[in-house]
Amino acid sequence: MHVRGIRGAITVESNAAEAIREATRTLLEAMVRANHVETDEIAAVIFTLTPDLDATFPAEGARQMGWASVPLLSSTEIAVPGALERCLRVLMLVNSPRAQGEIAHIYLRGAEVLRPDLNARSRAT
């Protein structure tokens, strides 16, 4: 087993607590499904939000999924001029026998523009 990083991002409809929680759940579910991850294989999850999203912590959405024992951390993205707005990013660290090249990174709802190279590869697997 190796520790692997799974990247993901999603745009959020609005700066509202439920919108952030819903986007978090949608993204995490897609990441877990695409990579066949069991909750007990998750070492930690790091969330970042663009500065225009501050209504709640994305960790609340993960807790709603029952991830009570998974270490979760939320932070604010660097405010880069011209960057994609209302964007939630995730780095999920998992214990996995899969090779680095077998990991599917998930970009949804407008966040596909961030890493079209990874998103295209994920659709092919």
- The pLDDT of residue 119 is 56
CA dist list (Å): 33 to 28, 60, 61, 74: 8, 20, 17, 22
List the chain domain ranges.
2-124
Token pair 């087993």: residue: 1
pLDDT in tens, 2-13: 999 999 999 999
Q: For 40-90, what is each residue's pLDDT tens digit?
A: 999 999 999 999 999 999 999 999 999 999 999 999 999 889 889 999 999
Where does 2-124 sit in CATH, by number? 3.30.1330.40
Question: Is pLDDT above 50 for 125?
Answer: no
